[in-house]
């Protein structure tokens, strides 16, 4: 069971340091805990967690080249040198707002894995795609480019449930997770307005292997509660 907190563009270095010092001892049995701060807060988070914490730190994105003239990008070796353990690739906000494609998701995942990092590769349909009956076609296309590797997990995040307060019903989540698993052997996390109130139900579904948590991961009590729900479901 993996519970990952995606902080998005929240928590500068000072806030990240304070938050990390409060969650450094979160270690529910059977749960791997990950936090994903913005780039400027990675080092502060790592230092505040300390070397004895079991909580791992991932970046929210990573480039596919080792170095070069790519202003604003960060390479896998740079993350590894900091002590970052992994990265998210293909988050729906990257796809929608910043032109991420299936091909660039593949490139990022391959490069991160080659550098020894772990990867959370995101897939999911928009509301329009779901209403048009295209969910399985979209998921099949997105999953088809994701490499197979022991350090990779997939996060199913229905785009219509990201930051909207909407959550996939247990039936929708289970059906989507089962379909993704029929295409790829990786564990599959659920992402889409995961909160303490719904975490236990979602995490107890047979094909849900954890959660990629957005807004609720910014609050210590909420994030702890979701981690505890994961431990109970593990």
Which residues are part of the catalytic machinery? 91, 157
Q: For the residues of 165-216, what is the DSSP string, one character each?
A: S----HHHHHHHHHHHHHH--S-EEE-SS--HHHHHHHHTSTT--EEEESGG
N-terminal to C-terminal alpha carbon distance within the chain? 6
Yes or no: say if 159 and 127 are a contact pair by the CB < 8 Å rule: yes
Yes or no: say if 167 and 193 are a contact pair by the CB < 8 Å rule: yes
Place of tokens 């009956």: 133
120 three-class SS: strand
Torsion sign over Cα 210, 126, 142, 65: negative
Place of tokens 């199913």: 156
CA-to-CA separations, 25 to 46, 132, 170, 220, in angstroms, rounded: 13, 45, 30, 12
């Amino acid at each position: 069971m993996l519970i990952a907190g995606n902080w998005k563009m929240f928590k500068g270095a000072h806030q990240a340091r304070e938050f990390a010092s409060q969650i450094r001892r979160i270690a529910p049995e059977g749960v791997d805990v990950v936090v994903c701060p913005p780039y400027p807060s990675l080092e502060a988070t790592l230092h505040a967690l300390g070397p004895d914490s079991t909580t791992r730190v991932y970046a929210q994105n990573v480039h596919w080249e080792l170095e070069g003239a790519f202003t604003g990008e960060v390479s896998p070796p740079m993350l590894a040198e900091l002590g970052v353990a992994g990265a998210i690739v293909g988050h729906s906000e990257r796809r929608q707002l910043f032109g991420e494609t299936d091909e660039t998701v593949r490139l990022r995942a391959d490069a991160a894995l080659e550098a020894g990092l772990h990867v959370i590769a995101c897939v999911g349909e928009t509301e329009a795609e779901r209403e048009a009956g295209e969910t399985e076609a979209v998921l099949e296309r997105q999953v088809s480019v994701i490499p197979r590797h022991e350090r990779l997990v997939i996060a199913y995040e229905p785009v219509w449930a990201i930051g909207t307060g909407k959550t996939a019903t247990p039936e929708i989540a289970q059906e989507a997770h089962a379909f993704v698993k029929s295409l790829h052997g990786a564990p599959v996390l659920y992402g889409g307005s995961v909160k303490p109130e719904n975490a236990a139900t979602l995490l107890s579904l047979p094909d849900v292997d954890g959660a990629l948590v957005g807004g609720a991961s910014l609050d210590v009590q909420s994030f702890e509660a979701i981690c505890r729900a994961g431990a109970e479901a593990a």
